[in-house]
Amino acid sequence: MLIRALRILVLAMALPAVFAMPSAHADGKVECPPGTNPVSVGSGVICVVVTEPGDPGGGGEPGDGGDGGQVGQPSGCYKTDGTKVPCQTKDGYWWSGHQCYAAPYDAPPDSPDWQGHTDGSLWLCTICETAGVDGTCRVETIWTAPGQEPGPPTPEELATVALGELHLAQASVRTAPNPPAASYVGVENWLWIPRGQWATLRKSVTAGATTVTVTATPSHVFWELGPISTTCHGPGKQWSQGMTDAATTDCSVTFKKTSADEPTERFPISATIRYQVAWTCSGSCADANGDLGLVDAPAGTGAIRVLQRQTVVVVP
């Protein structure tokens, strides 16, 4: 117990002032102050501070197109059956070796939980059938020998935590013609999103001596409009009243059929901003950088009515 207490004290003294030490309840549960998240480090827990370094940057260069969703190497935390789980919950940080969420646990020296040992550490190991869902979990107490405590999160795991903290922009759908005005078969429809949504996003997380910064750069917008779809490598150009027929855009679609057969007589619209996500690590790092691939933001939605122009024949 004394050895473990000294370890936590040394860890607390070594942490920068921006860290807050967690408080432990009588039942062993760990609670972090608002704005921080608990992460296991060595034989203790620190409260991870999430920061936003600098203002959002400008738009990124056009990326690879395609209509696929998230791609790249698997990242994050997983069960042995391949199921992806959150890297952290209110119960602690994912401990892959025991397939549970671990938090340090303090018990009296004569407690049966120590299994007769006088050194090492005790951990509350929360095992959930459905990750992080109350009512599907059981808690076990695990003793670990010195040096066998849950390891600190890897840079890639911290990158996944940072990605979860990013507010990826949900596209605000804009079209011309602008609903409720109808469009017509054969007419070019301009598509765009507000330019402010085409911005590079960054988020940093720190655990102990490791800081990971995630950068999400817009790659393209994937549009689905009823029977057709298109990929635009930018936010598109806003149509304004008074533009002449000579005005052009790099993001548009032309319908070949009406929406009359749709249940609402309108084609549904979905626009998804796809980000290229990369991370860099500073401090104590196993890897200096990595890539989480393409990640979809929540889709923006809308609807458009498409009609067929009627030809009037005048007989002289």
pLDDT in single tens digits along all 316 residues of the chain: 333 333 333 333 333 333 333 444 444 455 555 555 554 444 444 445 455 554 434 443 333 333 433 333 345 677 878 787 877 788 887 887 788 888 888 889 889 888 888 888 898 988 877 654 556 788 889 888 887 777 667 888 889 888 988 999 999 999 999 988 999 999 999 999 999 999 999 999 887 678 999 999 999 999 999 999 999 999 999 999 888 888 999 999 999 999 999 999 999 999 999 999 999 999 888 889 999 999 999 999 999 999 998 655 555 6
Considering the domain architecture, whether residues 135 and 14 belong to the same structural domain is answered as yes
| Cα distance between residue 86 and residue 126, in whole Å | 13
Considering the domain architecture, whether residues 120 and 161 belong to the same structural domain is answered as no
Instruction: With respect to residue 78, please indicate whether it lies within any of the assigned structural domains.
Output: no
Considering the domain architecture, whether residues 35 and 170 belong to the same structural domain is answered as no
Last residue of a domain, one of 120, 149, 178: 149
Considering the domain architecture, whether residues 124 and 209 belong to the same structural domain is answered as no
Last residue of a domain, one of 149, 177, 200: 149
Q: How many domains does the chain have?
A: 2
pLDDT for 174 equals 96
| Residue 63 and residue 158 in contact, taking contact as beta carbons nearer than 8 Å | no
pLDDT for 36 equals 53
pLDDT for 33 equals 54
Considering the domain architecture, whether residues 199 and 231 belong to the same structural domain is answered as yes
Domain enclosing residue 18, as ranges: 2-44+88-149
Instruction: With respect to residue 35, please indicate whether it lies within any of the assigned structural domains.
Output: yes
Last residue of a domain, one of 102, 117, 149: 149
| C-alpha gyration radius of the chain | 27
| Residue 45 and residue 38 in contact, taking contact as beta carbons nearer than 8 Å | yes
pTM: 0.62
